[in-house]
A and B are shown apart, each in its own frame.
Chain A
Amino acid sequence: DAKTTQPPSMDCAEGRAANLPCNHSTISGNEYVYWYRQIHSQGPQYIIHGLKNNETNEMASLIITEDRKSSTLILPHATLRDTAVYYCIVRASTSGTYKYIFGTGTRLKVLA
């Protein structure tokens, strides 16, 4: 199964863009990249996902490199409420079934 590697922690000033990198160099061609975040000990919350193209929604943007070996989650205007652990996940496909493999995450702290 493809693994993801993320920096353990990052700080970002409130109002600035937060750019969270992820390495997934062993990803296969049909495996999607997902981003989730977890605030305190709540259940992880979906942010965005993509396969090859860059994606944007109301929460964030996802930039995937052309070789698909890495991606960046962008929170365009970080707020204090964005302080959380962010997980980059590969949705692995095995014999037609799907499972979500988490990395260890990046703890983002948004500073006032």
Chain B
Amino acid sequence: DAGITQSPRHKVTETGTPVTLRCHQTENHRYMYWYRQDPGHGLRLIHYSYGVKDTDKGEVSDGYSVSRSKTEDFLLTLESATSSQTSVYFCAISEVGTGREEAFFGQGTRLTVV
């Protein structure tokens, strides 16, 4: 299994509080992604990174920010959590040009905003 760890795995927080989710990899992959998954939807891309300090928005980036200060860590921050951000969040990593170009996914973080 690819070395990818999400933390925390479960979190309950109150509306209006800041929340940071962490994705940590040990594969030295250049690309890292944050997705959210809600009932009736597939995974929707929030933000992604293609290198240290290089990030870009995905389909549903409003209300989220990210940071990547080192290769192994990609942080997703909800500056002021809302109930609509209750979801399961998945991190993924990938590399290009190595012959193994699939994305590997973490086990998810279940976030509940009350």
Residues of chain A touching chain B, judged by Cβ–Cβ distance below 8 Å, are 32, 34, 36, 41-46, 49, 87, 91, 94, 97-105
Residues of A within 8 A of B110 (CB): 41
Say which size band chain B's interface belongs to: 20 to 34
A residues less than 8 Å from B105 (CB atoms)? 36, 43-45
* Contacts A42-B108, A46-B104; A97 near B56 (Cβ below 8 A): yes
* Identity of the chain A residue whose Cβ is nearest the Cβ of B51 in the assembled complex: A97
In the complex the two chains form, is A102's CB within 8 Å of B43's CB?
A: yes
User: Which one, B33, B56, B103, contacts A46 given CB within 8 A?
Assistant: B103
Partner of B94, one of A98, A103, A104: A98
Q: Please classify the interface of chain A as helix (H, G, I), strand (E, B), loop, or mixed, using the class held by over half of its residues.
A: strand
Interface positions of B (Cβ within 8 A of A): 31, 33, 35, 40-45, 48, 50, 56, 58-59, 88, 90, 92, 94, 96, 101-108, 110
Q: Which residues of A contact B106 (CB under 8 A)?
A: 43
Check if B58 sits within 8 Å of A99, measured CB to CB: yes
Contacts A42-B108, A97-B50 known; 13 new A-B pairs at CB < 8 A: A43-B90, A43-B92, A43-B107, A44-B90, A45-B105, A46-B103, A46-B104, A49-B101, A97-B48, A99-B45, A102-B43, A102-B45, A104-B41
Q: Which of B41, B45, B108 contacts A100 (CB 8 A)?
A: B45
On whether the beta carbons of A101 and B45 are closer than 8 Å, the reply is: yes
Question: Taking the nearest CB of chain B, how far is it from the CB of A90, in angstroms?
Answer: 12
* Among candidates A32, A42, A103, residue contacting B107 with C-beta atoms closer than 8 Å: A42
Could you tell me if A34 and B102 are in contact, using CB atoms closer than 8 angstroms? yes
